[in-house]
């Protein structure tokens, strides 16, 4: 009897679980259907909005084109005398500007010429001044032909010995 009542209880629980599972599936299906319907409605609304915007843009561009055409006609209707007078005024203004620029450039050149002063000769460094004051008075001592030529010796390069004198003395020893 205990086993039978336990089996009945299990069957009841199994039926309830199945019913609950079916109910959950139905709820989830309804939610998915609602989501799909909402998405379709949103897409339809966006499409309608885009179509309305495109129509408004087309109307606006047509109005702009018409306004541009009217403005072009009005500009064409302007007299040639007005255009010529404006062109002459612009030419006179450009000539005045060019003349002012030329005068300013000439003034700048004159100021530049006045401002350019000769630079004073560079001052010698203190060690150069000391060397000039204490330099040997006998001329330059020549060590070899090339050095003599570079230092500006009074002896010609052919007369200078090919080796320095101390080297000859070492070679002889």
Tokens at 80, concatenated? 């040639």
DSSP letters, 29-58, are HHHHHHHHHHHHHHHHHHHHHHHHHHHHHH
Q: Per-residue pLDDT for 19 more than 80?
A: yes
| pLDDT tens figures, 25-79 | 999 999 999 999 999 999 999 999 999 999 999 999 999 999 999 988 877 776 6
What tokens appear for 83 in the block? Answer: 């255009």
Structure confidence at residue 75 (pLDDT): 77
Under 8 Å CB-to-CB from 142, ≥6 apart: which residues?
Answer: 148, 151, 153, 155, 160
Please state the pTM of the whole predicted model. 0.32
23 pLDDT higher than 90:
yes
Instruction: Name the one residue in this structure whose structure tokens are 């915007």.
Output: 53
Kindly state the average pLDDT of the residues 10-36: 94
DSSP 124-163: PPHHHHHHHHH--SS-PPP-SHHHHHHHT-SS-GGGS-SS
Instruction: Please compute the mean of the pLDDT values over residues 76-91 and round it to a whole number.
Output: 77
Reported as a single tens digit per residue, the pLDDT across 106-162 is 888 877 777 666 566 667 778 877 877 887 776 655 555 555 455 555 555 555 555
pLDDT at 163: 52
């Amino acid at each position: 009897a205990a086993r039978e009542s336990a089996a009945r209880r299990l069957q009841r629980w199994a039926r309830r679980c199945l019913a609950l599972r079916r109910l959950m599936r139905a709820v989830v299906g309804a939610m998915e259907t609602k989501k799909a319907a909402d998405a379709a409605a949103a897409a339809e609304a966006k499409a309608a909005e885009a179509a309305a915007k495109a129509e408004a843009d087309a109307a606006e561009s047509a109005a702009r084109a018409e306004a541009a055409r009217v403005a072009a006609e009005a500009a064409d209707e302007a007299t040639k005398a007005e255009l010529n007078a404006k062109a002459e005024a612009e030419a006179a203004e450009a000539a005045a500007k060019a003349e002012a620029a030329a005068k300013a450039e000439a003034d700048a050149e004159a100021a530049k010429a006045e401002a350019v002063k000769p630079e004073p000769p560079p001052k010698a460094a203190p060690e150069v001044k000391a060397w000039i004051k204490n330099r040997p008075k006998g001329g330059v001592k020549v060590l070899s032909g090339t050095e003599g030529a570079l230092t500006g010796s009074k002896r010609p390069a052919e007369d200078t010995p090919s080796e320095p004198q101390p080297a000859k003395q070492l070679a002889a020893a």
